[in-house]
Amino acid sequence: MKISHIEHIGIAVPNLEEAIKYYESV
């Protein structure tokens, strides 16, 4: 079962701002 990275972040990181900071640092 394949899941998009957007959906995965939404599940793994409920805090959207944290997800954004994670992507900014990568």
Say what the pLDDT of residue 18 is: 76
pLDDT band with cut points at 50, 70 and 90 for residue 6: low
Q: What CA–CA distance (Å, rounded) separates 26 from 19? A: 11
With a cut of 70, say whether residue 1 has pLDDT above it. no
Residue 22 CB partners (closer than 8 Å, separation 6+) = 9, 13
Token pair recorded at residue 22:
């994670």
The one-letter amino acid code at 1 reads M
The one-letter amino acid code at 8 reads H
Token pair recorded at residue 15:
């805090």
